[in-house]
Amino acid sequence: MKVLDGKNLSNIIKVEIKEVVDKRLSLGMKQPHLAAILVGNDGASLTYVGSKVRSCKQVGFVSTLIQLKDSVTEKDLLLEIKKLNEDKSVDGYIVQLPLPKHINENRVLQAIDPEKDVDGFHPTNFGRMALELPTFIPATPFGIMEIIKRYNITTSGKNCLVIGRSNIVGRPISVLMSQKGPYGNATVTVAHSKTKNINELTLKADIIISALGIPEFLKKEMVKIDVIIIDVGITRVIDNTNPKGYVIKGDVDFKNVSKKASYITPVPGGVGPMTISMLLKNTLLACQRKD
Query: Cβ atoms within 10 A of the Cβ of 115, count?
Result: 16
Nearest residue (CB) to ligand NAP, 140 versus 155: 140
In terms of CB distance, is 211 or 287 closer to ligand NAP?
Answer: 211
Cα–Cα distance for residue pair 242/281, rounded to 1 Å: 34
Least Å distance, CB 285 to ligand NAP, is 19
The H or E element spanning position 161 is strand 159-163
Q: What distance separates the 2 farthest-apart alpha carbons in the chain?
A: 59
Active-site choice (14, 91, 116, 119): 119
119 among known catalytic residues: yes
**165 vs 281 by CB, closer to ligand NAP:** 165
What minimum distance in Å lies between the beta carbon of 18 and ligand NAP? 21
Q: How far is the CB of 82 from ligand NAP (least distance, A)?
A: 26
**52 catalytic, yes or no?**
yes
Please check whether residue 31 is in contact with residue 62, taking contact to mean a CB–CB distance below 8 angstroms. yes
Taking CA atoms, 74 is separated from 5, 79, 80, 99, 105, in Å, by 39, 9, 10, 10, 9
Q: Where are the alpha helices (DSSP H) in the chain?
A: 6-26, 43-59, 74-86, 105-111, 123-130, 139-150, 170-178, 198-204, 254-257, 271-289
One-letter amino acid for residue 44 of the chain: A
| Distance of closest approach, residue 187 Cβ to ligand NAP, in angstroms | 19
- Closest approach of Cβ 169 to ligand NAP, in Å? 4
Question: Of 14, 52, 116, 281, which is the active-site residue?
Answer: 52
Catalytic residue among 14, 91, 96, 117: 96
Residues near 131 by beta carbon (within 8 Å), at least 6 away in sequence? none
Instruction: Specify the residue, 24 or 52, whose C-beta has the smaller distance to ligand NAP.
Output: 52
CB of 14 to ligand NAP, least distance (A): 15
- N-to-C CA span, the chain: 44
The Cα 272–Cα 48 span in angstroms is 9
42 is an active site residue: no
The answer to whether the CB of 271 falls within 8 A of the CB of 143 is yes
Residues at the interface with ligand NAP (CB under 6 A): 140, 163-166, 168-170, 191-195, 198, 211-214, 232-235, 271-272, 275
- Which three-class secondary structure state does DSSP give residue 230? strand
Torsion of CA 256, 258, 262, 266, to 10 degrees: 150
Q: Which is nearer to ligand NAP, 23 or 149 (CB)?
A: 149
Nearer to ligand NAP, 77 or 274 (CB): 274
Positions marked active-site: 52, 96, 119
